[in-house]
């Protein structure tokens, strides 16, 4: 059977940027920027994107496009004798596990969209959203239904294939995401007292920038570009040989960074205008922001748009995660695509159930370091599997496949000039694996002395 490819350049960009732009851009980046010295942190972050993010992304695109097969087979085809395909298995498993809990968070977002649309959030007192959110998560029925809804929507998009499914969907919703974010920026910066928020976000304060901040920038640059879990390898395998991978990687990284900054411009002026505390994670979008919207003129409308924005960001990410798993299973076991999608969706839902229950009935079950099931899965994938996957891809490209061969693929056999080849080579050989190793050890708590 002939394998499908992406149809247009804009489509590839929308899909890859869609994967990169996710909850990390909206609920994490703005906060860690503010906390670590604003513009000072942004500079470090940009350096990480340039020196590590883009080279690793290029490597993944190249590994995938070389043989146009799934993430496991891509390693095997390049190195038939070695055991490198195990890093493919690791990547696909990481994508599978991350999707099982990422879809729960996306499910909460869907709950808030409905509640915002029906106006039921309006009746909650400004200081009551903490309790409101806890009530939503401890009672498993609604989260389970919403998680299923997220998985089914993702599956439907995948049913239509690469070109008419993922590509078309991304081409429609990504511009919508940009429009909504622009609309929200206008609302936020025109609030009285918005300036303090912009200062929190952008004023360079080098005294706030610690080693911890630098490592946070590093780790985030990796996560936000969806690296280390086979997604970019899989997308690469659907890209035409004549596509310029270098330009594509720059564009994805630029789009991702711009949206992250825009998210900060939406969130902090509003949070500061109403005298609330900035936070990161679920607390920000499910507890702090509803209180902000409540106080704002036309708040319900902006709240609804905000949750639609997050749902788009989340869905384009779930699509990329599920595609990675589906491409692998359907090719490896010669199963039909639709059958695979149905099976994977069911399996994901089953795996999600213990995580959903870990906020309520199973909250006493602790797996790692006193963490519940949901947090343990998040920790093991984000802090362990992702960095290991990242190091493996660098070592594989630099020392097994060879930078020379990788560069051939990246430059489309010399069709395009690859000006920063030297820097790329230094990055995949030394800078990236070492830097990722350091964040890995740091994430495990090995350097707690620096805190």
Q: Rounded to whole angstroms, how far apart are CA atoms 65 and 135?
A: 46
- C-beta of 137 vs 154, nearer to ligand PHE: 154
> Is residue 201 part of the contact set for ligand PHE (CB under 6 A)?
no
> Is residue 104 part of the contact set for ligand PHE (CB under 6 A)?
no
Which of 304, 241, 395 has the alpha carbon at shortest distance from 112? 304
- C-beta of 24 vs 197, nearer to ligand PHE: 24
Q: Rounded to whole angstroms, how far apart are CA atoms 357 and 336?
A: 32
How far apart are CB 306 and ligand PHE at their closest, in Å? 16
The DSSP code for 63 is: H
> Is residue 224 part of the contact set for ligand PHE (CB under 6 A)?
yes
Number of residues that bind ligand PHE (CB under 6 A): 13
Stretch that binds ligand PHE, among 239-247, 314-322, 367-375, 421-429 (CB under 6 A): 314-322
> Is residue 317 part of the contact set for ligand PHE (CB under 6 A)?
yes
Window 56-75: residues binding ligand PHE (CB under 6 A): none
Stretch that binds ligand PHE, among 58-66, 220-228, 293-301, 370-378 (CB under 6 A): 220-228
Q: Rounded to whole angstroms, how far apart are CA atoms 288 and 211?
A: 28
> Residue for token digits 């401890």?
138
> Is residue 358 part of the contact set for ligand PHE (CB under 6 A)?
no
Q: Distance between terminal CA atoms of the chain? A: 55
> Is residue 311 part of the contact set for ligand PHE (CB under 6 A)?
no
How far apart are CB 29 and ligand PHE at their closest, in Å? 8
> Is residue 221 part of the contact set for ligand PHE (CB under 6 A)?
no
Q: Rounded to whole angstroms, how far apart are CA atoms 313 and 20?
A: 9
> Is residue 432 part of the contact set for ligand PHE (CB under 6 A)?
no
> Residue for token digits 């995580």?
355
CA 276 vs CA 199, 270, 271, 288, 294: distances in Å: 15, 9, 5, 7, 12
> Is residue 249 part of the contact set for ligand PHE (CB under 6 A)?
no
How far apart are CB 21 and ligand PHE at their closest, in Å? 6
Secondary structure (DSSP) of 377-446? HHHIIIIIIHHHHHHHHHHIIIIIIIHHHHHHHHTTTTTS--TTHHHHHHIIIIIHHHHHHHHHHHHTTT
Candidates 74, 100, 226, 345; binder of ligand PHE (CB under 6 A) is 226
Pair of tokens at residue 438: 């350091």
- C-beta of 22 vs 269, nearer to ligand PHE: 22
- C-beta of 121 vs 381, nearer to ligand PHE: 381
Q: Rounded to whole angstroms, how far apart are CA atoms 34 and 271?
A: 12
- C-beta of 20 vs 296, nearer to ligand PHE: 20
Window 18-57: residues binding ligand PHE (CB under 6 A): 19-20, 22-25
Secondary structure (DSSP) of 96-121? HHHHHHHHHHHHHHHHHHHHHHTTGG
- C-beta of 74 vs 234, nearer to ligand PHE: 234
> Is residue 320 part of the contact set for ligand PHE (CB under 6 A)?
yes
Stretch that binds ligand PHE, among 59-67, 74-82, 144-152, 219-227 (CB under 6 A): 219-227
Which of 337, 196, 346, 174 has the alpha carbon at shortest distance from 278? 196
Site residues (vs ligand PHE, CB under 6 A): 19-20, 22-25, 98, 223-224, 226, 317, 320-321
């Amino acid at each position: 059977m002939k394998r499908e490819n992406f149809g247009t350049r804009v489509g590839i960009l929308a899909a890859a940027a869609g994967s990169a732009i996710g909850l990390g851009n909206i609920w994490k980046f703005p906060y860690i920027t503010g906390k670590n010295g604003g513009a000072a942190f942004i500079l470090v972050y940009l350096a990480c994107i340039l020196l590590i993010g883009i080279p690793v992304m290029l490597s993944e695109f190249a590994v995938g496009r070389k043989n146009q097969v799934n993430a496991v087979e891509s390693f095997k085809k390049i190195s038939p004798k070695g055991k490198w395909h195990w890093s493919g298995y690791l990547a696909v498993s990481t994508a599978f596990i991350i999707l099982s809990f990422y879809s729960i968070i996306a499910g909460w977002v869907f709950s808030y969209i409905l509640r915002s649309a029906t106006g039921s959030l309006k009746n909650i007192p400004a200081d009551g959203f903490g309790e409101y959110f806890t009530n939503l998560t401890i009672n498993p029925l609604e989260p389970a239904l919403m998680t299923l809804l997220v998985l089914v929507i993702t599956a439907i998009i995948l049913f239509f294939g690469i070109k008419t499914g993922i590509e078309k969907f991304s081409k429609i919703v990504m511009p919508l995401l940009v429009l909504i974010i622009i609309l929200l920026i206008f609302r936020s910066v025109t609030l009285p007292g918005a300036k303090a928020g912009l200062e929190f976000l952008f004023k360079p304060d080098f005294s706030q920038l610690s080693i911890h901040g630098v490592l946070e920038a590093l780790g985030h640059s990796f996560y936000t570009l969806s690296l280390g879990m086979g997604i970019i390898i899989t997308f690469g395998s659907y890209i035409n040989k004549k596509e310029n991978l270098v330009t594509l990687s720059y564009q994805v990284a630029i789009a991702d960074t711009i949206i992250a900054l825009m998210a900060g411009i939406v969130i902090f002026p509003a949070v500061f205008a109403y005298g609330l505390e900035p936070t990161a994670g679920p607390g920000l979008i499910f507890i702090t922001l509803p209180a902000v919207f409540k106080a704002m003129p036309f708040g319900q409308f902006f709240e609804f748009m905000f949750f639609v924005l997050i749902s788009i960001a989340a869905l384009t990410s779930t699509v990329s995660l599920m595609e990675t798993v589906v491409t692998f299973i359907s090719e490896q076991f010669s199963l039909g695509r639709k059958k695979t999608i149905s099976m994977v969706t069911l399996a994901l839902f089953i795996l999600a159930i213990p995580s959903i229950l870990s906020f309520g009935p199973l909250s006493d079950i602790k797996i790692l370091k006193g963490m519940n099931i949901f947090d343990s899965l998040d920790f093991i994938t984000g802090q362990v599997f992702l960095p290991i996957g990242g190091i493996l891809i660098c070592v594989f490209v630099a020392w097994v496949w060879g930078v020379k061969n990788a560069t051939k693929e990246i430059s489309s056999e010399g069709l395009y000039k690859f000006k920063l080849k030297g820097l790329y080579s230094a990055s995949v050989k030394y800078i990236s694996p070492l830097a990722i190793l350091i964040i890995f050890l740091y994430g495990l708590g090995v350097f707690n002395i620096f805190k």
